[in-house]
């Protein structure tokens, strides 16, 4: 018999890779959605021509799909294939901005590609250490392209860094800021700030066409679907797209996966990687899973705007450039958090002027021409806090099989974020930026998508805690491998540690 992996997002693909490396046969089930042909065609047309030859009208049409997304939906390629609407997952409309995916490749069709490992200090008290994960980060780097450089972040976050790193050319604004971060490194360090180049899961043939937030035409931004495509030639991998899992059961000799159409798939062992919402839904519907609720924890985020005091010599809105995060900031300050606070710095992108106009346009219609000029000086940092300080989202099974969500938000989350914003604003002065900390806003619960820890790995597993192989108490062949099993959600990015941990569990689980 074969192993079963549920989900072809980053965690599922890491588990598939590890099981194939052990010589196991794998049945891979997922929701099966892919980009529709009518949306793939404009993408392929842009990919087939150099950006300098693109027609302005084609570019405008390509971007319009994202500008017109429904509230709460995040899109790329003008398509909603990669993100399920809230009503598919939740029985009642509520305050949770987190969404599930039933796509091949999952939410990695939409992600921002920012990749960092978890710092050893943020894993204190876990049943696994940073050292346990280190070889699995290396295994993941065997199929995940990472753009990076060895800089001020390297000794704090050494894992997940390629042996011979090379960096995507930063945007013109980021080049200036990164150069200042190097010359002012001591002053920043004295304030508990380390600033280095962002690390992104992007291939080095990126064309710097500025379409990162709309859908990369050439597929240089990694998606788990890319690695799946590369593995499909392996006769031991049986990919079965469009098979929606409802529940899982263990038998004396194996596992049974129950599909929503009533069919069953059997195997030796199952690795559950359906993304934290769908994983909770499947577990809560499974006989033998004792808990009637699961509580997700989030690394919540907020945005700190800042303005360049002197404009760039080169206009930031002219190509070539990319619009992914350009720099990472790691903040250490016990008064704000015993854990790292993480920041991702974005320079110019085409959403800035639109967002400024939409937020302030009605109040200040006479200065409409100013927004594009202001947008060219705007630098925005997305700040993340450790989950110890953030929202808890409790999930229960509704009568119709969907989820009911209840949110609890600690009283001091916003205050901590504002303290972090004020501290960062002081540091950003060294880079020639005037931060606007009074404008720092906390994102809605779930909106960071850095969410998990609903079945945390523990030395003593029970109905709501798994062992170090992702098994809730009583399970021996069911391994949860997505972010559900992280003991907490650190502020640094979530997906790379989830992939390394999924690879570790799938390697250490009996063959
Ligand atoms: C806009 C956006 C930006 C992001 N940016 C970043 C970033 O820069 N850095 C970062 O670290 N993280 C980022 N994330 C988060 C990142 O995308 C997720 O952490 C990651 O995709 C989770 O991977 P996963 O494999 O656990 O789940 P998913 O990616 O959600 O994949 C779930 C898989 O399970 C399948 N599935 C779901 N339900 C079922 C079912 N019932 N039956 C069968 N199959 C099922 C789906 O088809 C899919 O293949 C971002 C997310 C979003 C939305």
In this structure, the residue with its CA closest to atom 30 of ligand 1 is: 275
Q: Locate the ligand 1 atom nearest the alpha carbon of residue 8 and give its number.
A: 49
303: its two tokens: 């945005």
Kindly state the average pLDDT of the residues 283-292: 94
In this structure, the residue with its CA closest to atom 51 of ligand 1 is: 111
**What does the alpha-carbon distance between residue 89 and residue 107 come to, in Å, rounded to a whole number?**
15
Determine if ligand 1 sits within 6 Å of the CB of residue 106. Answer: yes
Average pLDDT, the chain: 96
The 10s digit of each residue's pLDDT in 298-324 is 999 999 999 999 988 899 999 999 999
CA 114 to centroid of ligand 1, rounded, Å: 14
Single out the residue of 101, 123, 133, 342 nearest to residue 244, CA to CA. 101
Whose structure tokens read 């969404």?
A: 99
Determine if ligand 1 sits within 6 Å of the CB of residue 480. Answer: no
Prior bond to 320 cis, omega within 30? yes
**What does the alpha-carbon distance between residue 315 and residue 360 come to, in Å, rounded to a whole number?**
24
pLDDT of residue 326: 98
Q: What angle do CA 191, 151, 162 make, to 5 degrees?
A: 140
Determine if ligand 1 sits within 6 Å of the CB of residue 74. Answer: yes
The 10s digit of each residue's pLDDT in 10-49 is 999 999 999 999 999 999 999 999 999 999 999 999 999 9
Residue of 96, 108, 493 with the most ligand 1 atoms within 8 Å of its CB, for mutation: 108
| DSSP 3-state of 80 | coil
Strand order of the sheet with strand 293-298? 403-408, 392-397, 293-298, 451-452
Distances (CA, A) of 93 to 83, 116, 378, 402: 16, 33, 34, 12
Strands (E), 348-504: 378-384, 392-397, 403-408, 433-435, 441-442, 451-452, 478-480
CA 99 to centroid of ligand 1, rounded, Å: 9
Determine if ligand 1 sits within 6 Å of the CB of residue 443. Answer: no
In this structure, the residue with its CA closest to atom 1 of ligand 1 is: 111
**What does the alpha-carbon distance between residue 181 and residue 158 come to, in Å, rounded to a whole number?**
19
* Pairing status of strand 3-6 against strand 269-272: parallel
**Sorting pLDDT into bands at 50, 70 and 90, what band is 110?**
very high
Residue of 15, 76, 107 with the most ligand 1 atoms within 8 Å of its CB, for mutation: 107
**What does the alpha-carbon distance between residue 434 and residue 306 come to, in Å, rounded to a whole number?**
5
Question: What would the DSSP string read from start to end of 277-288?
Answer: HHHHHHHHTSTT
59: its two tokens: 């570019």
Residue of 383, 495, 498, 500 with the most ligand 1 atoms within 8 Å of its CB, for mutation: 495
Determine if ligand 1 sits within 6 Å of the CB of residue 112. Answer: yes
181: its two tokens: 């971060």
Query: Is the per-residue pLDDT at 106 higher than 90?
Result: yes
Q: Locate the ligand 1 atom nearest the alpha carbon of residue 13 and give its number.
A: 25
pLDDT of residue 504: 98
Determine if ligand 1 sits within 6 Å of the CB of residue 30. Answer: yes
Write out 217-240 in H/E/C secondary structure: CCCCECCHHHHHHHHCCCCCEEEE
Kindly state the average pLDDT of the residues 319-347: 97
Query: Is the per-residue pLDDT at 232 higher than 90?
Result: yes
Determine if ligand 1 sits within 6 Å of the CB of residue 10. Answer: yes
**What does the alpha-carbon distance between residue 492 and residue 121 come to, in Å, rounded to a whole number?**
12
Determine if ligand 1 sits within 6 Å of the CB of residue 12. Answer: yes
CA 273 to centroid of ligand 1, rounded, Å: 9
Q: Locate the ligand 1 atom nearest the alpha carbon of residue 114 and give its number.
A: 8
Query: Is the per-residue pLDDT at 64 higher than 80?
Result: yes
The 10s digit of each residue's pLDDT in 368-415 is 778 888 899 999 999 999 999 999 999 999 999 999 999 999 999 999
CA 104 to centroid of ligand 1, rounded, Å: 10
CA 107 to centroid of ligand 1, rounded, Å: 3
The 10s digit of each residue's pLDDT in 428-475 is 999 999 999 999 989 999 999 999 999 999 999 999 999 999 999 999
Helix or strand holding residue 259 (H, E): strand 255-259
8 Å CB contact between 377 and 352: no
Question: Beta-carbon neighbour count of residue 495 at 10 Å?
Answer: 27
CA 101 to centroid of ligand 1, rounded, Å: 6
8 Å CB contact between 153 and 328: yes
Estimate the share of the chain in helix, then strand, then coil, as percent rounded to the nearest 5. 30, 25, 45
Query: Is the per-residue pLDDT at 63 higher than 70?
Result: yes
Kindly state the average pLDDT of the residues 207-218: 98
Query: Is the per-residue pLDDT at 72 higher than 80?
Result: yes
Strands (E), 334-448: 337-346, 378-384, 392-397, 403-408, 433-435, 441-442
pLDDT of residue 361: 67
**What does the alpha-carbon distance between residue 229 and residue 51 come to, in Å, rounded to a whole number?**
26
The 10s digit of each residue's pLDDT in 479-507 is 999 999 999 999 999 999 999 999 999 99
The 10s digit of each residue's pLDDT in 233-247 is 999 999 999 999 999
CA 74 to centroid of ligand 1, rounded, Å: 13
pLDDT of residue 313: 86
Question: Beta-carbon neighbour count of residue 476 at 10 Å?
Answer: 13
Q: What are the phi and psi torsion angles at 177 (to 5°)?
A: -65, -40
pLDDT of residue 364: 67
Determine if ligand 1 sits within 6 Å of the CB of residue 490. Answer: no
């Amino acid at each position: 018999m074969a192993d079963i992996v549920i989900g072809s997002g980053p965690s599922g693909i890491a588990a598939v890779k590890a099981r194939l490396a052990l010589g196991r046969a794998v049945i891979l089930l997922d929701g099966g959605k892919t980009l529709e042909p009518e949306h793939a065609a404009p993408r392929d047309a842009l990919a087939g021509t150099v950006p300098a030859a693109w027609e302005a009208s084609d570019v405008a049409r390509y971007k319009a799909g994202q500008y017109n997304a429904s509230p709460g939906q995040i899109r790329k390629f003008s398509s909603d294939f990669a993100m399920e609407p809230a009503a598919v997952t939740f029985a009642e409309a509520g305050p949770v901005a987190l969404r599930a995916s039933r796509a091949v490749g999952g939410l990695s069709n939409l992600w921002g590609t920012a990749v960092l490992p978890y710092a050893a200090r943020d894993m204190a008290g876990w049943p696994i250490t940073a050292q346990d994960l280190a070889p699995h980060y290396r295994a993941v780097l065997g199929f995940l392209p990472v753009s990076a450089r060895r800089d001020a972040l390297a000794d704090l976050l050494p894992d997940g860094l390629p042996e011979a790193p090379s960096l995507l050319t930063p945007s013109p604004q980021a080049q200036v800021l990164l150069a200042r971060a190097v010359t002012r490194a001591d002053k920043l360090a004295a304030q508990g700030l380390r600033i280095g180049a962002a690390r992104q899961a992007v291939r080095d043939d990126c064309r710097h066409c500025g379409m990162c937030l709309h859908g990369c035409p050439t597929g240089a931004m990694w998606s788990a679907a890319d690695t799946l495509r590369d593995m499909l030639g392996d006769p031991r991998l049986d990919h079965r797209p469009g098979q929606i899992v409802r529940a899982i059961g263990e038998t004396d000799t194996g596992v049974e996966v129950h599909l929503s159409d009533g069919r069953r798939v059997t195997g030796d062992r199952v690795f559950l990687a359906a993304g934290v919402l769908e994983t909770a839904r499947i577990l809560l519907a499974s006989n033998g899973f004792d808990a009637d609720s699961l509580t997700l924890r989030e690394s919540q985020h907020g945005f700190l705007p800042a303005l360049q005091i002197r404009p760039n010599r080169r206009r930031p809105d002219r190509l070539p450039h990319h619009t992914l995060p350009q720099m990472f900031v790691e903040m250490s300050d016990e008064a704000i958090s015993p854990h790292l606070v993480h920041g991702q710095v974005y320079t110019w992108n085409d959403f800035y002027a639109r967002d400024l106009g939409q937020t302030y346009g009605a109040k200040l219609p006479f200065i409409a021409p100013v927004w594009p000029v202001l947008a060219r000086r705007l630098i925005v940092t997305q700040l993340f806090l450790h989950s110890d300080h953030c929202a808890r989202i409790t999930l229960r099974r509704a009568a119709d099989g969907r989820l009911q969500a209840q949110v609890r938000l600690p009283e001091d989350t916003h205050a901590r974020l504002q303290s972090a914003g004020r501290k960062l604003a002081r540091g950003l002065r060294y880079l020639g930026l005037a931060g606007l900390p009074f404008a720092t806003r906390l994102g809605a619960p779930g909106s960071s998508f850095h969410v998990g820890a609903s079945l945390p790995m523990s030395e003593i597993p029970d109905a709501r805690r798994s062992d170090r192989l992702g098994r809730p108490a009583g399970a021996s062949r069911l391994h949860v491998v997505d972010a559900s099993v992280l003991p907490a959600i650190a502020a640094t990015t979530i997906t790379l540690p989830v992939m390394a941990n999924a690879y570790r569990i799938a390697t250490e689980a009996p063959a």
